[in-house]
Amino acid sequence: MLNAEIIAIGSEMLTPFRVDTNSLWLTERLNSMGIDVKLKTIVGDDEARLEETIRDAMKRSEIVISTGGLGPTEDDITRKIFARVLKRRLILDDDILEKLKARFAKRGIVMSENNSRQALVLERAEVLPNPNGTAPGILIEEGKCIIAIMPGPPREMKPMFDASVAPVLKQRVGDVLILRRKLNIFGLGESAVDELAAPVYTKYRNPSTTILFKDGQIELHLTAQVKTETEGTRLLDELSGQLEEALGDYVYSRHDETLEQVAGELLRWRGYSLATAESCTGGLLAGRVTEVAGSSEYFLEGVVTYSNEAKMRMLGVPTAMLEEHGAVSEPVACAMATGVRKLAGATFGIGVTGIAGPGGGSEEKPVGLVYIALADEDNVTARKFIFPGDRQFIRILSVNAALDLLRRRIK
Amino acid sequence: MLNAEIIAIGSEMLTPFRVDTNSLWLTERLNSMGIDVKLKTIVGDDEARLEETIRDAMKRSEIVISTGGLGPTEDDITRKIFARVLKRRLILDDDILEKLKARFAKRGIVMSENNSRQALVLERAEVLPNPNGTAPGILIEEGKCIIAIMPGPPREMKPMFDASVAPVLKQRVGDVLILRRKLNIFGLGESAVDELAAPVYTKYRNPSTTILFKDGQIELHLTAQVKTETEGTRLLDELSGQLEEALGDYVYSRHDETLEQVAGELLRWRGYSLATAESCTGGLLAGRVTEVAGSSEYFLEGVVTYSNEAKMRMLGVPTAMLEEHGAVSEPVACAMATGVRKLAGATFGIGVTGIAGPGGGSEEKPVGLVYIALADEDNVTARKFIFPGDRQFIRILSVNAALDLLRRRIK
The 10s digit of each residue's pLDDT in B116-170 is 888 888 999 999 999 888 889 999 999 889 999 999 988 899 999 999 999 999 9
pLDDT the model gives residue B166: 95
- Amino acid (one-letter) located at A118: Q
Residue A31 pLDDT exceeds 90: no
| Residue from the list B40, B284, B303 with its beta carbon closest to the beta carbon of A301 | B303
Name the CATH superfamily for A259-410.
CinA-like (3.90.950.20)
What average pLDDT does this structure show over B70-99? 88
Closest residue by Cα to residue A147 from A94, A95, A88: A88
pLDDT the model gives residue B258: 94
Q: Which region among A356-365, B169-178, B300-309 has the lowest average model confidence (pLDDT)?
A: B169-178
- Amino acid (one-letter) located at A280: C
Residue of chain A nearest B14, judged by CA positions: A37
Beta-carbon separation of A19 and B24 below 8 A: yes
Q: How many residues belong to chain B?
A: 411
Q: Which region among A90-104, A248-262, A343-357, A358-372 has the lowest average model confidence (pLDDT)?
A: A90-104
More confident residue, A406 or A93: A406
Closest approach of chain B CAs to the CA of A27, in angstroms? 5
| Residue from the list B27, B213, B286 with its beta carbon closest to the beta carbon of A283 | B286
Residue B12 pLDDT exceeds 90: no
Residue of chain B nearest A299, judged by CA positions: B306
The phi-psi region of residue B203 (left if phi > 0; otherwise alpha if psi is between -120 and 50; otherwise beta) is alpha
Residue A121 pLDDT exceeds 90: no
Share of chain B above pLDDT 90, in %: 69
Q: How confident is the model at residue A38 (pLDDT cuts 50, 70, 90)?
A: very high
| Residue from the list B27, B48, B307 with its beta carbon closest to the beta carbon of A14 | B27
Chain A residues in contact with B304 by the CB 8 A cut-off are 276, 283, 286, 290, 299, 301-304
| Residue from the list A43, A75, A358 with its beta carbon closest to the beta carbon of B293 | A358
B175 vs B104: CA distance, rounded Å: 42
A80 vs A84: CA distance, rounded Å: 6
What average pLDDT does this structure show over A289-309? 94
CATH topology of domain B177-253: Alpha-Beta Plaits (3.30.70)
pLDDT the model gives residue A176: 75
DSSP state of B165: I
Q: Which region among A110-114, A133-137, B87-91 has the lowest average model confidence (pLDDT)?
A: A110-114
Chain B residues in contact with A212 by the CB 8 A cut-off are 17
- Amino acid (one-letter) located at A127: V
Mutate to test the interface with B, among A156, A279, A307 (most CBs of B within 10 A): A307
What's chain A's average pLDDT?
91
What's chain B's average pLDDT?
92
Share of chain B above pLDDT 70, in %: 99
pLDDT the model gives residue B99: 86
DSSP state of A112: P
- Radius of gyration for the alpha carbons in chain B, expressed in angstroms and rounded: 29
Beta-carbon separation of A25 and B16 below 8 A: yes
Residue B72 pLDDT exceeds 90: no
Closest residue by Cα to residue B290 from A394, A317, A110: A394
Residue B174 pLDDT exceeds 90: no
Residue A214 pLDDT exceeds 80: no
Question: How many Cβ atoms sit within 10 Å of the Cβ of residue B296?
Answer: 16
Residues 6+ apart with CB under 8 A from A47: A77, A80, A81
More confident residue, B180 or B162: B162
Domain range summary for chain A, segments of one domain joined by +: 2-173, 177-253, 259-410
| Residue from the list A38, A107, A303 with its beta carbon closest to the beta carbon of B49 | A38
Name the CATH superfamily for B2-173.
MoaB/Mog-like domain (3.40.980.10)
Q: Which region among A11-25, A367-381, B139-153, B329-343 has the lowest average model confidence (pLDDT)?
A: A11-25
The phi-psi region of residue B36 (left if phi > 0; otherwise alpha if psi is between -120 and 50; otherwise beta) is beta
Q: At what angle do helices A78-86 and A47-60 cross, to 10 degrees?
A: 50
The 10s digit of each residue's pLDDT in A159-202 is 999 999 999 999 888 777 888 899 999 988 777 888 899 899 98
pTM of the model: 0.77
Beta-carbon separation of A302 and B282 below 8 A: yes
Angle at A202 between CA A200 and CA A206, to 5 degrees: 100
pLDDT the model gives residue B140: 96
Residue of chain B nearest A36, judged by CA positions: B14
Chain A residues in contact with B383 by the CB 8 A cut-off are none
pLDDT the model gives residue A377: 95
Burial call A173-210: b when 16+ CB within 10 Å, e when fewer: beeebbbbbbbbbbbbeeeebeebbeebbeeeeebebb
Residue of chain B nearest A344, judged by CA positions: B310
CA atoms within 13 A on the CB side of A341: 20
B222 vs B32: CA distance, rounded Å: 13
- Amino acid (one-letter) located at B302: G
